[in-house]
Chains A and B, each alone.
Chain A
């Protein structure tokens, strides 16, 4: 049984298709990073999981239950850090947290949770007066109440300083090690890369890739560019003919080889070393970043062709 399972999930707002025929399964116990540029449909998907909004078509199951039939039963076992929340009631951080603990009928110690997210000193101030980062910490503490089986975190690092992001990561990792399933969204690749077991990439409402980080790297084709600095300008040495080589070019004394397979690199180096004096070798792997940009068309703004961009 998956912790989250969507089936042909579609959500339209008028003419806009926010989520388009999404089939996604999150296994129990995994940390799943939900990646995509702004407006890709990540929050819409999360709002559908939590029954904040209703699907146009398809179905959602969370922890084996239909998300709409009995959302309270799901909320008993899920910790949520939503996006677009607000602490508008004149309550202190501690009171908000105590309210969450009471509502969940949990026996957490509010002090411990406040300590964990680094809010002990601010606990008795009104949550509405907190900075964005502190509100995010409080919202995270609320999500952690009652040690949920599933953590759903929408852009959890929003507003956090680097230190806060590190703490968040540590807590997420630690909870995951204890068996909690974590589903979190982000538009920042490095964040997802650091903690996720698996990654799903959304773009314009569609899921364009689901894989482990390693798998994604591989699907980048093990693409690498080799720079071989030679003692004298290299001539044509037949490198193009080697298996796994997509192309070569010569820049001054440097031979640049574009490899499509990781294994090709060694062959290229051996081949060239037999025919010329190689002084230095540099290798550049195609970064995950490049792959992410590739998958998402470089983000929402760049996705359109230049002539379509309104002047």
Chain B
């Protein structure tokens, strides 16, 4: 098993990247500022801290995918373009070692990054409010890490499929657009498209649950739902629309399903990426 050697070399290289340190510093500053500037309305200290992280969670939904994609989009494509892969595979590494080693290393990089953002925010939030709701913060950290890991998986998989930097960039931008932006821009959102096709083109009766189910395939929506799992009830947010007030969401739209959505987004891209890399002419 030489996976560890591949990962270790890649991680050492990442640690020396000045760009990565710069981005980390900026993100740490950003979360510190949010934690500093937040003022809760009639909330106790612990509630205020939770509210701070809840607010940050909204921003993380858009930000963490960018962090993950930037950290991973060149993981394998870069080695193929530069010829580094010839050394990786000239030594006793299998393609699986290279693929999984790169994945492990990039997961390590984003883990450090997300941990840093949470640490700076926590330090500032605790300093300002004097309370540390550890369980909630840890839970949000775990969910955020899982969400980031989804995009690392997507980026590493795409990186294994394309052979050039330019295409890797296009694939990373494209995946951000398809997986995140399409669900948040008003006007071009997936929800409207599905509703239009279903009702106007196909002439069916409106079916809010169906539209919700389609929305729920997005990791972003899943992340918003997953955060509900780890915060106290009063901080839970209604992510999906209901047909009428008081309606109960069907089980397949429950908050727990978000974990399944994450699992699928982790497994399917990785399987596809590995399969294509295994068969590729390098």
B12 contact set on A, CB distance < 8 A: 89, 91, 95
User: Using an 8 Å CB-CB cutoff, how does the interface string of B263-282 with A read, 1 for contact, 0 for none?
Assistant: 00000000000000001011
With the chains together, A50 CA to B91 CA distance in Å? 10
Which A218-266 residues have a C-beta within 8 angstroms of B? Answer: none
Partner of B87, one of A51, A71, A73, A142: A142
Q: Do A50 and B92 touch across chains, with their CB atoms under 8 A apart?
A: no
**Is A274's CB within 8 Å of the partner chain B?**
no
Expressed in whole angstroms, the Cα–Cα distance for A198 and B188 within the complex equals: 67
* Closest partner residue, chain A, to B88 (CB atom): A103
CB contacts (< 8 Å) of B16 on chain A: these are 90
Contact status B78-A104, CB under 8 Å: no
Give the residues from 78 to 95 in chain B that come closer than 8 angstroms, CB to CB, to chain A: 78-79, 82-87, 89-94
Complex: A100 Cα to B279 Cα, angstroms: 25
B5 interface residue (CB < 8 Å to A):
yes
B244 located at the interface, meaning its Cβ lies under 8 Å from any Cβ of chain A in the complex: no
Contacts of A87 in B (CB 8 A): 84
Within the complex, the shortest CB–CB distance from B31 to chain A, in Å, comes to 27
> Does B9 touch A at the CB level, under 8 Å?
yes
How many angstroms between the C-alpha atoms of A310 and B10 in the bound complex? Answer: 46
A102 to B5, CA, bound (A): 8
Shortest Cβ gap from A156 to chain B (Å): 13
- State whether the Cβ of B39 lies closer than 8 Å to any Cβ in chain A: no
CB of B282 within 8 A of CB of A53, answer yes
B200 at the interface (CB under 8 A from A): no
Give the docked Cα–Cα distance between A104 and B79 (Å): 20
Distance A52 CA – B78 CA, assembled complex (angstroms): 16
* Cα–Cα distance between A96 and B79 once the two chains are bound (Å): 15
- Establish whether residues B9 and A89, one from each chain, have CB atoms under 8 Å apart when the complex forms: yes
Q: What's the Cα separation between A88 and B80 when bound, in Å?
A: 11
- Of residues 44 through 83 on chain A, the ones whose CB sits less than 8 Å from some CB of chain B are 47, 50-54, 71-73, 75-76, 78, 80, 82-83
Residues of A within 8 A of B233 (CB): none
Within 8 Å of chain A (Cβ to Cβ): is B202?
no
Is B2 interfacial (CB 8 A cutoff)? yes
CA distance A87 to B82 in the complex (A): 8
Selected contact of B84 from candidates A51, A75, A89, CB within 8 Å:
A89
Which chain A residues border B91 with CB–CB below 8 Å?
75, 80, 100, 103-104, 142
Q: Does A306 contact B (CB under 8 A)?
A: no
CA distance A88 to B76 in the complex (A): 12
Tell whether B17 is near chain A: CB-to-CB under 8 Å. Answer: yes
Known: A82-B87, A88-B82. Is A99-B9 also a contact (CB below 8 A)? yes
**Contact status of A91 and B90, CB under 8 A, knowing A53-B281, A102-B5:** no
**Cβ of A141 to closest chain B Cβ, rounded Å:** 12
Decide if A82 touches B86 in the complex (CB within 8 Å).
Answer: yes
Q: How many residues of B contact A (CB 8 A)?
A: 26
Residues of B within 8 A of A84 (CB): 83, 86
Within the complex, the shortest CB–CB distance from B275 to chain A, in Å, comes to 14
A73 to B79, CA, bound (A): 22
- CB <8 Å contact, A91 and B13: yes
Indicate which residue in A47, A53, A75, A103 contacts B5 across the interface (CB closer than 8 Å): A103
Cα of A103 to Cα of B101 in the assembled complex, Å = 13
Selected contact of A72 from candidates B10, B78, B92, CB within 8 Å: B92
CA–CA, A95 and B85, complex, Å: 17
> In the docked arrangement, what's the CA distance between A100 and B282, Å?
20
Given that A54-B279, A88-B78, A99-B9 are contacting pairs, would A75 and B86 also be in contact in the complex, using a CB cutoff of 8 Å? Answer: no
Interface contact A100-B87, CB-CB below 8 Å: yes
CA A82 to CA B2, docked complex, whole Å: 20
**A124, B281: Cα distance in complex, Å:** 34
Contact of A86 with B by CB under 8 A: yes
| Residue among A13, A71, A90 making CB contact with B13, cutoff 8 Å | A90
Distance (whole angstroms) from the CB of B92 to the closest CB of chain A: 4
Report the Cα distance A82→B88, complex, angstroms: 11
Pick from A54, A73, A78, A85 the residue with the most CB of B within 10 Å: A85
List residues of chain B with CB within 8 A of the CB of A143. 90
Pick the contact of B89: A75, A83, A99 (CB < 8 A).
Answer: A75
Distance from B228 Cβ to chain A, minimum over Cβ atoms (Å): 41
In angstroms, how far is the closest chain B Cβ from the Cβ of A63?
13
Residues of the B chain whose Cβ atoms lie less than 8 Å from the Cβ of A99 = 5, 9
Interchain CB contact under 8 A, A104 and B83: no
Tell me if A72 and B93 are in contact (CB < 8 A): yes
Distance A87 CA – B86 CA, assembled complex (angstroms): 10
Q: Please name 19 pairs of A and B residues whose Cβ atoms are closer than 8 Å in the assembled complex, sorted by A.
A: A47-B282, A50-B89, A52-B86, A52-B89, A54-B281, A72-B94, A76-B92, A80-B90, A82-B90, A85-B84, A86-B83, A86-B84, A88-B78, A90-B16, A90-B17, A103-B91, A104-B92, A142-B90, A143-B90
Known: A50-B90, A91-B12, A99-B5. 18 other contacts (CB 8 A): A47-B281, A47-B282, A50-B89, A51-B89, A52-B281, A54-B279, A54-B281, A72-B2, A80-B86, A80-B90, A82-B90, A86-B83, A88-B78, A89-B10, A89-B84, A90-B17, A96-B87, A103-B5
Please give me the 10 A-B residue pairs with the lowest Cβ-Cβ distance, nearest first.
Answer: A80-B90, A86-B82, A82-B86, A89-B13, A86-B83, A53-B281, A88-B82, A75-B92, A85-B83, A90-B16
